Amino acid sequence: RIFGYGSLCWHPGSEGVLSLAGRKTQQGEEGRPMVTTAPGRAVGYRRCWAQRSADHRGTPSFNGIVCTLLSDGEVRKLQGGDPADGKHPVSSTEGLIYTVDPSLANRCLSELDFREKGGYARDVIDVVEDGTGETVRALLYRGTPDNPAFWRRALLDMPLAAAVMSVAVGPSGRNDAYLLSLDEFLTAHGRSGGSDGGPNHSGDDATGELARMVGSLQTDFRPYFLFGAGSNEHGQLLLDGVPDEDNGARPTKEAHEVSEVLLVTPRDGREEDKGNEPISLHAGG
């Protein structure tokens, strides 16, 4: 079994083993489908938008953001809490369980290894089938916090994550399409009464909120991304917000690594401004 919680919920691919799901003409030796799907959920795990994407929904020069699956303990640790604290509600993340005929298992894994090469690794967890309530073991791909593509700030800074997803584009398409397609899947699944994982039946609040924020950014605001490093003598890197009237003379820190700052301005809709917006801004000293 394969558990999909991201793009596999809505895009198994146009080719390959998982694309056989739902094709009645593909039958195994015993007359059963080679690949079937069923809604299910990972209990104790949370969908987190914290994985950089340079090969699907972004580029090496401007990474997009896609989701990963973290345990509740991993999330609490990233938020500065106690990973073993059991006082918080247990997360429940909705997804799709693929059951693959054993004859196709090796081919399926080879295809997924390539698809999920951007920082994801195999893991096996318990998942619950929504229809039967049965707990089964399933393999999945997830980017843990120690993988090089993990972006902790995106997890903790939702406006930044939304701004990135509102503009990023990669070989597999627009970043916002990935987000909105997953949000549509979760919303439709909630309407079908498939899960008790939260107010929108998706098991996470972030996906819907990010979708709303992306829509607002694309309609009402224009995001700019500043990348700076080096001396910050005059507060020019905006590490502590906008400089004071005294040109930021208060003590500021040096930036020994590239720092990312999000600057958002209202869209005024003037035709003469279209096509003249800066692509990126760089500051340093």
| Banded model confidence at residue 237, pLDDT cuts 50, 70, 90 | low
Q: Could you tell me the pLDDT band of residue 5, with boundaries at 50, 70 and 90?
A: very high
Residue 63 pLDDT greater than 80, yes or no: yes
For the segment 242-257, the average pLDDT, to the nearest whole number, is 50
Question: Taking a C-beta distance cutoff of 8 angstroms, is the pair 5, 42 a contact?
Answer: yes
Q: Which one has a higher pLDDT value, 231 or 102?
A: 102
- pLDDT at position 270: 63
More confident residue, 236 or 57: 57
Q: Is the pLDDT of residue 236 over 90?
A: no
Query: What pLDDT digit, counting tens, does each position of 86-126 carry?
Result: 677 889 999 999 999 999 999 999 999 999 999 999 999 99
Residue with more model confidence, 46 or 265: 46
Mean pLDDT across the chain: 82
The pLDDT value recorded for residue 142 is 96
pLDDT single digits (tens) 157-197: 999 999 999 999 999 999 999 999 999 999 988 755 554 44
For 252-276, what is the mean pLDDT?
67
pLDDT of residue 175: 97
Residue showing tokens 């799901």:
21
Residues 6+ apart with CB under 8 A from 141: 112, 116, 120, 121, 122, 123
Q: Is the pLDDT of residue 26 over 50?
A: yes
Tell me what pLDDT residue 81 has. 81
Instruction: Kindly state the percentage of the chain with pLDDT values over 70.
Output: 74
DSSP 156-203: H-HHHHHHHHHH-EETTEEHHHHHHHHHHHHHHHHHTT---SSTTSSS
Long-range Cβ pairs for the range 278-284 (8 Å, 24+): 278/224, 280/224, 280/225, 280/227, 281/224, 281/225, 281/226, 281/227, 282/226, 282/227, 282/228, 283/226, 283/227, 283/228, 283/236, 283/237, 283/238, 284/228, 284/229, 284/230, 284/231, 284/237, 284/255
Structure tokens at 178: 């990935």
Identify which of 50-59, 230-239, 245-254, 267-276 has the greatest average pLDDT: 50-59
**Above 60 in pLDDT, residue 250?**
no
pLDDT interval class at 263 (50, 70, 90): confident
pLDDT at 19 > cutoff 70: yes
Q: What is the mean pLDDT of residues 241-270?
A: 62
Beta carbons of 176 and 210 less than 8 angstroms apart? no
Which pLDDT value is given to residue 248?
45
CA–CA separation, 179 vs 173, rounded Å? 11
Read off the pLDDT of residues 216-226 as tens digits, 9 standing for 90 and up: 999 999 898 87
